[in-house]
């Protein structure tokens, strides 16, 4: 048990279960890394990718939105980033499908 009263399930798993769990979370980890990468690239490219993002969302409800990024010092920023990507899924897909963006 940890301090909050929750049981550490990972510690109780067998080696086989730990291996299965590690394999099962790979797609999730890859998606998280990609969202962090895309968000970072857009925010830090004010001359190429950021204008392309604004063009993608022009005239849509997300017109004044940028993709939030994960910040280690903000405990909820990972959730905020993923929630924004899900909410703006169609815009993100359109943006990523554009070969001129290089992402």
pLDDT tens digits for range 57-73:
999 888 888 889 988 89
What's the CA gap between 68 and 86, in Å, rounded?
12
What's the CA gap between 67 and 81, in Å, rounded?
7
77: CB partners within 8 A, 6+ apart:
68, 69, 70, 71
pLDDT 10s digits, 33-57? 999 999 999 999 999 999 999 999 9
Mean of the per-residue pLDDT values for the chain? 88
């Amino acid at each position: 048990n940890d301090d909050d009263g929750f049981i550490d399930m990972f510690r109780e798993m067998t080696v086989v279960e730990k291996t299965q769990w590690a394999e099962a979370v790979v797609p999730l980890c890859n998606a998280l890394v990609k969202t962090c990468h895309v968000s970072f690239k857009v925010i830090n490219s004010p001359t190429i990718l950021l204008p392309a993002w604004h063009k993608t969302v022009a005239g849509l409800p997300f017109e004044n939105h940028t993709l939030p990024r994960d910040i280690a010092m903000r405990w909820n920023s990972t959730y905020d980033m993923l929630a924004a990507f899900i909410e703006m899924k169609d815009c993100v897909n359109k943006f990523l499908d554009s070969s001129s963006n290089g992402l």
